[in-house]
Amino acid sequence: MATKFHWTTGPISSSLGLDHITVDVLNNTSDTRSTRINVYDLSVGAPILMFTKKVTNKPFSDVSQEVAAAESSIWEVQLITSSKRVRTWVGGQDDAGMNLIGNVVLSSQFQFLYSE
């Protein structure tokens, strides 16, 4: 069984004007990698799964997903990857696609949860 690595942005309090969350998954290796993207709404107490999708990255490619999130005031993105070398970028954006201040998480800022 292949090792899986679990990552999280931690809770993010969205700015006014949040329209959607963009998740970019980058594979800068020569192997095909898989990633499960889970986006949770934390606004009402217990986490509510807003979006889940498994994506496959071919070597040296990227995949981008947009998740509608206009109703979310607190949200979190969790990723399950097949490699620690998969890089990600997450950004809360307004309806014009502009990044909102304090709503961007770079790969190096993701918190490692555990591996299995």
Q: What global pTM score does this model have? A: 0.91
Question: What are the residue boundaries of the structural domains of the chain, listed by start?
Answer: 5-111
User: Mean of the per-residue pLDDT values for the chain?
Assistant: 92
Residue-wise pLDDT for 30-72, tens only, equals 999 999 999 999 998 899 999 999 999 999 999 999 999 988 8
The CATH code belonging to domain 5-111 is 2.60.290
User: Got the DSSP string for the chain?
Assistant: ----EEEE---EEPPTT--EEEEEEEE-SSS-EEEEEEEEE-TTSS-EEEEEEEEEE-TTEEEEEEEE-TT-SEEEEEEEES-TTEEEEEEEE-TT-PEEEEEEEEGGGSEEEEE-
